[in-house]
A = this chain, B = another copy of it.
């Protein structure tokens, strides 16, 4: 089994109340890939420029990420984003966006990446997402999107949503897309567009799952130290899809609940440090330990243990 992800590969300049980085490895496909790499083989598809060198490839390859579908654009520069977070870390203010090679990105999947079992369409232009979906034989496709595309390419996004099995979006964006303030109704409306599964990301409050069979709600893992929320949503998606792939890609509710918990566990590590720095020294053992703790702190009926 393997997962293909199509999205951005970037350098991020990040400023939070807890520090800053001038040039952190980032982008949705990178965060997703590193998180998924703890569970399965993952193939990021996206463009990079001449400034993306051996050091960056090495970060991915140390985690077993297959980098052969990363497209090197001769003479180009890698996508660059600069942002600053407020004191409560909830809002990112974009200071600068340089699309660079990402501006002309026309995803072309290799034979291997077409043959992946699972496909994740990270937050890119919905026409491109649909084009990639058409190229890929994956048994299960999921997508993320954002307010920018809801405003500028709503019809295309709805068409793209119709072609995937699962939607992972922020709760505010599900409400915006459906013009429905009630989240349960908004998720039902998105499921009516086609996908069997809708997962609402709720940031520091967790995530909620909506399927034909029911509902599941997961709070976020409590953290005393949050330094940088960049990549939280993508690492959540990576952990979730990576776990699903490791379980054969089934979308039954019991597997989805565990997958969401793994996704939230990955995201909780991500935000403890800048960019994907925490991921670089993360182990599967740490992930499983926190996963087990997660179960204890959300169990209504079990006696809690310390910590």
- Residues of A whose CB lies within 8 Å of any CB of B are 17, 87-89, 175, 181-185, 188, 202, 204-206, 208, 213-220, 222-226, 253-254, 257-258, 261, 294-295, 297-307
Contacts and interface: CB of A to CB of B under 8 A. Distances in A.
10 contacts: A183-B222, A208-B219, A208-B222, A216-B297, A216-B298, A218-B298, A254-B303, A257-B299, A261-B300, A295-B300
A225 B64 CA distance: 47
Q: How many copies does the complex hold?
A: 2
Given A205-B205, A222-B208, A299-B299, A214 B182 contact: no
A300 B298 contact: yes
A258 to B, nearest CB: 7
A304 B205 contact: no
Contacts of A304: 213-216, 253-254, 257
A17, A217, A224, A254 — most chain B CB neighbours (10 Å): A217
A85 to B, nearest CB: 11
Given A175-B88, A184-B223, A222-B208, A215 B297 contact: yes
